[in-house]
Amino acid sequence: MVMSELFGSMVFSDRVMRERLPESTYEEFRDCCEHDRPLSLETANVIAGAMKDWAVEKGVTHFTHWFQPMTGLSAEKHDSFISPTSDGGVIMEFGGKELIKGEPDASSFPSGGLRATFEARGYTAWDPTSYAFIKDGTLCIPTAFCSYNGQALDKKTPLLRSMEAVSREGVKLLHLFGRKTEKLSSAVGPEQEYFLIDSKAFEKRRDLMYTGRTLFGARPPKGQELEDHYFGAIKPRVAAFMKDLDEELWKLGVLAKTKHNEVAPAQHELAPIYTTVNVATDQNQLTMEIMRKVAAKHGMTCLLHEKPFAGVNGSGKHNNWSLVTNFGHNIFEPGKSPADNAQFLLIVSLMIAAVDKHQDLLRISAASAGNDHRLGANEAPPAIVSMFLGDELTGILDAIKDGRTYSKRAACQVEIGVHVLPKFAMDSTDRNRTSPLAFTGNKFEFRMLGSAFSIADTNTVLNTIMADEFRLAAEELAGAKDFNAAIKEIIRRNMKEHGRIVFNGNNYSEEWVKEAKRRGLLNLPTTVDCLALLDSPENIALFERHGVLTEAEIRSRKDILIENYSKLITIEGNTMLDMAEKDILPAVTTYEKELAETVSALAGAGIASAPQKDTLKLLAGLYSDAAKAVKSLKAALEKGKNAADWMAYGKICRDEIIPAMNALREACDGMEIRTAKKYWPFPTYGDLLFSVN
C-alpha cells in the first residue's frame, strides 16, 4: 500500500467526513468544533451513521468510547453495533446518542474521594476534535470521562478546559495588538524514549514483570561509556520493529517522523510532528500501547519505565509546546516588525512569569515514583525548575529590564516600537539538554516528563498558567494610555520579579543547586515533596479562576497521586523481598557451600586457598547485610500498612521503605558480582541490555 493510502486509513478523518457526510452536515460539524458549540442530535445521527458504515466496511463489529482515566492509561468498554429485529435477526445500528455519550461503570477507577465505590455511574462524552479510529478491529471514539455529578474523572477533561482557557485569554490579548485571531491552540510534539529487550529475558525477571524496572542488577562490564549506541546503526531486529511500528502508527494518523538509537544500550526514541495538544495526547497514549504490541510480535518487550536500569540513562518524554493562532501563526516565533517584536517579547516575558510563579505545578506534573529515580541523574533535568532562553534573547530582555538599549557586536540596538529587533533566527539558541524548560526558537521544550507519563497533566498546567498571565497582561494593557510604554513596563517588571527562573548554564552542576537556592527557587526531589503543594490556596484559586479544576477535583488528584506512589513503592518492596528470599539468598547459599567445600578440599590437599576464603568471607558479609536489609524492609512495609493516611504512607515510603530497598539492593548487587554466573537466578544487566541483536 502506498503511503497516501496507508496514512490515516484507520481514521475517520476530516477527509473521510468530507467524502461521506452531506455538505451541510460537514459544515455544521466543523463550525461546532471551531467554536466549541454542541452538535444537534440530528447532525450527530448523520455522523454516527456514516461513521458506522465506514467502520463496518473495514470489518468492524464493535465500538468503544476510548477514554483516559486517572490511571494514566487508556480504558475502553466494547459494545457491538447489532440490534435485534422482530423476525429474530439483527441489524447494524449506531446512533447519535451512542456516539455523543456513553455510560461505563466508573466505580473501580481512581476517583480520589470524588465518589463512593458503590456510586457506579459515570459518563463518557465524545471529543469531536479528536478523530475516531479503528484499533484491533474496534471503532474507538475519543471521549472525556466524568462522574454522575459532572466532576472530571480523567486527564482529558481538564486538558480540554485548559485549552479553552488559554484560547479565551490569549485571544483577548492578541486583539489588543490588532490581531483578528479567533482561536489560540496549544500544539505539542512529544518525543518518546523507550527500551527494547528480548522477551525471554524479560520473562525471567519478576521485578520487570511486576514493576517495569529492575530492582536488582550489578553494572555490566560495558554500558554507555563509549557513547557508541547514540544515533548508531539500528540493529536489524530493532529496525524491523520500527518499520512495523511506523506503519501501525501511520494507519492511525499518528505523524511518526523520527526514529533513532538513544544513549543507553537497548534504548531508542520516536518523535512525531506537532499537532493540537488533545490530539497529541490521544496519539501518544496510542503510541505507547502500540509500541508494546508491536514489540511482542517481534519477540521483544518494550519498557516505558523512567528508570528500568540503574547506572544507565533513563527514559523521558520531551514535551515541545507552543501556541498557534487559527491563522497558523506560532506566537512564540520572533517577528519582523516592531509591533511583532513587541508582542513576541511580551509573550516570552509572560511565559517567564508563569513558570516562576508556578514552579510547583510544573514539577508536580512530572512527579512519580519512577521519575524520582531519573530527575537529576545526569541524564535528565534536575528537580529544580528553570528556563533556558539563550544568551541573545536573555540579553534583549535584560536590556529592557535595565532600561538600556541592547547591542550585539556593537552595531545593533533595540527599543520596542522604535527600532527593529535584530533578526532572531530559530537556531540562535542552543538546545541546552540539561534545562527543564528550554526555548528552542519557536517553542518551549519541557524535558522533565517521564517516558510512561500521559502528557495531559503537563499541558494542562502550561495552558492554565499561560492563560492567567494573558489575563493579567490584557487587563493592564486594555487601560493603558501609552500601549508601547505599558508593554515595556510589563516586560521590565516580569524580568525584574521573575527573571531568577532564567538560567542558561549547566543545570547538572553542584554550583547550580547552590545558586538556585540563593535565588529562592524550589528544589523538590521527590514526589512526596511535590504533592504537599498541589492543593495550596494559590493553586486552587488559579485552576478555579479559569474553570479547569475545582477544589474537589484538585484534592482528588492529590489523593490519587500519593496513593499510587505509595502502592507502587509497596509493590516494589514486596517484589524485592520475594526475589531476595526465594531466589537470591538461596542461590548464594548454594554457591557458598561449593566454595566452602572447595576450600576444605584444597586444604586437605595442602594447597593454599586464601583467594577462595576471601571470596567466601566477602559473600558471607554481604549475605549478612542482605539479611539485615530484608528485616528492615519488612518492618518498614509493615509500618506503612498502619499509616494514618496516604500522605503519611508516602512519607514512610520515602524515608524508610526506599532506603531499606536501596540497602537490600546494594548487598544483593555485591553478591551478584562475586557469585558464579551459573548460580545467579536471573538474567544480568549484560543479558538484558545486549539481548537484542
Residue type present at position 167: S
Answering whether pTM is above 0.85, one says yes
C-alpha cell at 242: 520500527
Is residue 309 predicted with pLDDT exceeding 80? yes
Q: Which of 122-136, 165-179, 295-309, 368-382 has the lowest mean pLDDT?
A: 368-382
The answer to whether the beta carbons of residues 491 and 189 sit under 8 Å apart is no
pLDDT in tens, 608-620: 778 888 899 999 9
**Rounded Cα–Cα distance for residues 549 and 162 (Å):** 9
Q: Among all chains, which residue has been given the C-alpha cell 536489524? A: 236
> Does the structure show a pLDDT above 50 at 334?
yes
- Between CA 60 and CA 43 the distance in angstroms is 23
Q: What is the 8-class DSSP label of residue 582?
A: I
pLDDT digits (tens, 9 = 90+) for 508-562: 888 999 999 999 999 999 999 999 999 999 999 999 999 999 999 999 999 999 9
Q: Enumerate residues 6+ apart whose C-beta is below 8 A from 396.
A: 345, 406, 414, 421
Q: Are 412 and 344 in contact (CB under 8 A)?
A: no
pLDDT of residue 430: 54
For the cut 60, the answer to whether the pLDDT of residue 416 exceeds it is: no
pLDDT at 85 over 80: no
Helix or strand run (H / E) with residue 438: strand 437-439
Q: Which helix (H) or strand (E) holds 23?
A: helix 23-34
* Alpha-helical runs (H) found in 89-235: 96-100, 156-176, 199-202, 206-211
How many whole angstroms separate alpha carbon 449 and alpha carbon 552? Answer: 25
pLDDT of residue 83: 77
If you write DSSP's letter for every residue of 52-111 in order, what string do you get? HHHHHHTT--EEEEEB-BTTSS-B--EEESEEE-TTS-EEE---HHHHHEE--B-TTS--
Question: What is the pLDDT confidence band of residue 257, given thresholds at 50, 70 and 90?
Answer: very high
Task: Report the pLDDT averaged over residues 283-294.
Answer: 97
Confidence of residue 93 (pLDDT cuts 50, 70, 90): confident
What is residue 39's predicted lDDT score, i.e. its pLDDT?
83
- Computed over every residue of the chain, the mean pLDDT equals 90
Lowest mean pLDDT among 121-130, 374-383, 423-432: 423-432
Distances (CA, A) of 543 to 188, 551, 556: 21, 8, 14
Which 8-state DSSP code applies to residue 553? H
With bands split at pLDDT 50, 70 and 90, how would you rate the model's confidence at 443?
A: very high
Give the integer Cα–Cα distance in Å for 627 and 621: 10
- Looking at the DSSP assignment, which residues form a beta bridge with residue 560? none
Is residue 255 within 8 A of residue 284, CB to CB? The reply is no
- Average the pLDDT over each of 96-110, 264-278, 424-438, 633-647 and give the range with the smallest value: 424-438
Distance in angstroms (rounded) separating the CA atoms of residues 333 and 318: 19
With contact defined as beta carbons under 8 Å apart, do 603 and 609 qualify? yes
Q: Show Cβ contacts of residue 599 under 8 Å, excluding neighbours closer than 6 positions.
A: 609, 612, 613, 616
Single-letter code of the amino acid located at 483: F
Residue 418 has pLDDT above 50, yes or no: no
627 pLDDT more than 60: yes
Label residues 488-513 b or e (16+ Cβ within 10 Å = b).
bebbbebbeebbbbbbbeebbeeebb
